């Protein structure tokens, strides 16, 4: 029998159906061909890299039970015990793999080496992207600076940069106002044991919102209710879910429940309303400052774009980036100061020596900048408890990192396209080869250039990275440090003792979400200062 296409087409199906099928088959073959071609090119690149750099895979993972179930159980126990970060460190130490990589079978590299981190964040910036984070965070953060890569990220960074520059110099009054309200609240409830941690979370939500939106929830002064309360709760809930999803790596989408989507919607509606009100109040071409002379991030941003969706997304991104990070810094600072009364006293002396304090006034930005010991305390807290302790990037092309490959972990390490590189700043900040034998101790004076004890930290470079580095360095760090400094100074001026409420034997427990907080809060006993100067009370009364 002879097969004739024309006969076949007229007998079996109309000609156009056959043409369509043939078209799909051809397209499929083309895709397979391209895919094979890509795989071959990747293999060739890999081979060239291996022969040129002698790079190797990271050390092999060691576990005893199938599917690494022994590690899973260990992780679960560590999470319950509030020591998940220490557990991550031990897995990295043993294997060179992140825990997610272990469980999900994904390949990748984990590192706490300054050279590798510099490579990922700076020298090879174009070779790495955010990976699964973009899609994971999108339901809450939309398309904003925190979820974007490449050109869209560059556009966002350019859009937001001038606002951050202005915020640095012009938002002091807003910060001051919110912190003074916070102090009134702490003073009113300072009898007995006070947990400062939840108060710091409320404070930083208020300060960041004041600067971004020009309005706050005023959660320090009043009992928050209605839409504001919904928003605050939904924002916390949505962030919590993002962190849980993040732990699943590429399988983040498995956790996508109704509560999560509802929280995201509440946050969007709340911020949308603020944006729409601001758009209605601001005509094109208007000055970026409010008639009151106050600088509001949103008003300034509106002078660049009136796209409601862009404004909403970028604001939520900055709010998320700025709020919990600063709250954790404050909480760990007071936890450590309460554990180290001699350091607390030295810092209090510096706060009480300020000319403004002696004259009965409030600290000024210039005075804060000049406080050397306070600067060292903040550096040391962020060393031991960097607010973002673990982070990751994903390789956009096959490449190598300087170290971590081979059985001894000393060769350059091969990173294939699509693989994750986890970097653990928490572990790096506790390395004895960088910080000396007392790397685990709280010793702010290690940052004093005149201090001869321990290694000289002048050239620590990429070995110290609380605010990230390279093109994606945190743009809010000056704002965060000013806010934290002012809060610390005013608390120390207002209370002559801040003692820890937990027994000395209590084991430190941590909660890891997107940031690392204390699982037991920051419980302290506060002893009010002897009467402050009359003018200071007058200054405070303005709030």
| Angle subtended at Cα 367 by Cα 361 and Cα 369, rounded to the nearest 5 degrees | 150
Using alpha carbons, list the distances in angstroms from residue 269 to 214, 236, 241, 243, 261. 17, 15, 19, 22, 12
Q: What is the DSSP string of 438-471?
A: TTTS--GGGG-TT--SS---TT-GGG--TT--GG
Looking at the Cβ atoms of 200 and 270, the one nearer to ligand HEM is: 200
Looking at the Cβ atoms of 114 and 466, the one nearer to ligand HEM is: 466
| Angle subtended at Cα 315 by Cα 311 and Cα 321, rounded to the nearest 5 degrees | 150
Cβ-proximal residues to 67 (8 Å cutoff; 6+ apart), any chain: 103
Looking at the Cβ atoms of 202 and 357, the one nearer to ligand HEM is: 202
SS3 assignment for 142-194: CCCCCCCCHHHHHHHHHHHHHHHHHHHHHCHHHHHHHHHHHHHHHHHCCCCEE
Smallest separation (angstroms) from ligand HEM to the CB of 164: 7
Smallest separation (angstroms) from ligand HEM to the CB of 323: 7
Positions touching ligand HEM (CB under 6 A) are 145-146, 157, 208, 318, 321-322, 325-326, 329, 387-388, 391, 466-468, 472, 474-477, 479-480
Smallest separation (angstroms) from ligand HEM to the CB of 59: 26
Cβ-proximal residues to 543 (8 Å cutoff; 6+ apart), any chain: 177, 180, 181, 184
Smallest separation (angstroms) from ligand HEM to the CB of 471: 7
Backbone phi and psi for residue 2, each to the nearest 5 degrees, phi listed first:
-100, 130
Looking at the Cβ atoms of 171 and 494, the one nearer to ligand HEM is: 171
Looking at the Cβ atoms of 158 and 281, the one nearer to ligand HEM is: 158
Q: Rounded CA gap, 198 and 200, in Å?
A: 5
CB neighbours (10 Å) of residue 530? Answer: 6
Backbone phi and psi for residue 56, each to the nearest 5 degrees, phi listed first:
-140, 170
Looking at the Cβ atoms of 239 and 387, the one nearer to ligand HEM is: 387
Smallest separation (angstroms) from ligand HEM to the CB of 126: 14
Smallest separation (angstroms) from ligand HEM to the CB of 496: 27
> Residue 517: beta bridge partners?
511
Smallest separation (angstroms) from ligand HEM to the CB of 328: 7
Smallest separation (angstroms) from ligand HEM to the CB of 38: 28
Looking at the Cβ atoms of 216 and 411, the one nearer to ligand HEM is: 216
Smallest separation (angstroms) from ligand HEM to the CB of 511: 16
Indicate the Cα dihedral angle 287, 293, 297, 302, nearest 10°.
Answer: -20
Looking at the Cβ atoms of 88 and 146, the one nearer to ligand HEM is: 146
Using alpha carbons, list the distances in angstroms from residue 149 to 109, 132, 153, 155, 318. 21, 11, 5, 10, 16
108-111, strands of its sheet edge to edge: 108-111, 420-424, 390-395, 128-129
Looking at the Cβ atoms of 158 and 256, the one nearer to ligand HEM is: 158
Q: Rounded CA gap, 480 and 489, in Å?
A: 14
Q: Which residue is nearest to ligand HEM (CB)?
A: 476
351 annotated to a ligand binding site: no
Smallest separation (angstroms) from ligand HEM to the CB of 472: 4
Q: Is the C-alpha dihedral spanning 98, 100, 103, 109 positive or negative?
A: negative
> Residue 401: beta bridge partners?
413
Looking at the Cβ atoms of 71 and 481, the one nearer to ligand HEM is: 481
Q: Contact at 8 Å (CB) between 540 and 350?
A: no
Residue stretches of the annotated binding site: 474
The binding site for heme consists of 474
């Amino acid at each position: 029998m002879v097969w004739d296409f024309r006969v076949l087409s007229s007998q079996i199906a109309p000609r156009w159906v056959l043409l369509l099928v043939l078209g799909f088959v051809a397209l499929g073959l083309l895709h397979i061909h391209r895919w094979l071609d890509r795989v071959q090119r990747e293999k060739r690149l890999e081979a060239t890299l291996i022969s040129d750099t002698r790079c190797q895979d990271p050390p092999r993972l060691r576990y005893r039970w199938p599917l690494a179930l022994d590690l899973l159980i260990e992780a679960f126990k560590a999470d319950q015990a509030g020591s998940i970060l220490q557990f991550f460190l031990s897995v990295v130490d043993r294997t060179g793999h992140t825990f997610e990589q272990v469980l999900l079978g994904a390949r990748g590299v984990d590192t706490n080496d300054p050279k590798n981190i510099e490579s990922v964040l700076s020298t090879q910036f174009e070779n790495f992207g955010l990976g699964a984070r973009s899609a994971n965070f999108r339901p809450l953060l939309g398309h904003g600076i925190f979820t974007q890569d490449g050109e869209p990220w560059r556009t966002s960074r350019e859009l937001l940069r001038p606002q951050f520059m202005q915020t640095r110099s012009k938002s002091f009054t807003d910060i001051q106002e919110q912190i003074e309200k916070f102090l009134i609240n702490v003073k009113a409830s300072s009898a007995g044991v006070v947990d400062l941690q939840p108060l710091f979370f409320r404070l930083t939500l208020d300060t960041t919102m004041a600067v971004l939106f020009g309005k706050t929830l005023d959660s320090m002064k009043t009992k928050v209710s209605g839409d504001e309360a919904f928003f605050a709760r939904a924002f916390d809930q949505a962030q919590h879910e993002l962190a849980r999803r993040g732990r699943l790596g590429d399988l983040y989408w498995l956790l996508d429940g109704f509560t999560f989507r509802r929280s995201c919607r509440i946050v969007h509606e709340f911020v949308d309303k603020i944006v729409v009100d601001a758009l209605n109040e601001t005509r094109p071409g208007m000055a970026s400052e409010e008639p009151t002379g106050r600088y509001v991030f949103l008003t300034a941003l509106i002078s660049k774009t009136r796209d409601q969706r862009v404004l909403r997304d970028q604001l939520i991104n900055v709010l998320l980036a700025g709020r919990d990070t600063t709250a954790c810094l404050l909480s760990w600072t007071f936890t450590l100061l309460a554990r180290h009364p001699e350091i607390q006293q030295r810092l209090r002396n510096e706060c009480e020596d300020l000319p403004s304090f002696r004259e009965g006034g409030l600290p000024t930005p210039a005075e804060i900048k000049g406080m050397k010991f306070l600067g060292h305390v903040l550096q040391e807290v962020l060393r031991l408890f960097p607010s973002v302790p673990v982070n990751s990037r994903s390789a956009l092309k096959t490449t190598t990192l300087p170290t971590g490959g081979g059985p001894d972990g000393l060769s350059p390490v091969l990173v294939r396209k699509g693989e994750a590189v986890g970097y653990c700043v928490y572990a790096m900040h506790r390395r004895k080869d960088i910080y000396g034998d007392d790397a685990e101790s709280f010793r702010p004076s290690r940052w004093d250039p005149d201090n001869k004890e321990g290694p000289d930290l002048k050239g620590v470079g990429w070995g110290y990275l609380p605010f990230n580095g390279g093109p994606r360095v945190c743009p809010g760090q000056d704002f965060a440090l000013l806010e934290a400094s002012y809060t610390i100074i005013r608390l120390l001026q207002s209370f002559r003792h801040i003692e820890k409420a937990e027994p000395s034997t209590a084991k430190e427990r941590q909660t890891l979400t997107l940031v690392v907080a204390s699982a037991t809060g920051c419980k302290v006993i506060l002893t009010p200062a002897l009467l402050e100067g009359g003018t200071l009370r007058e200054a405070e009364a303005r709030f």
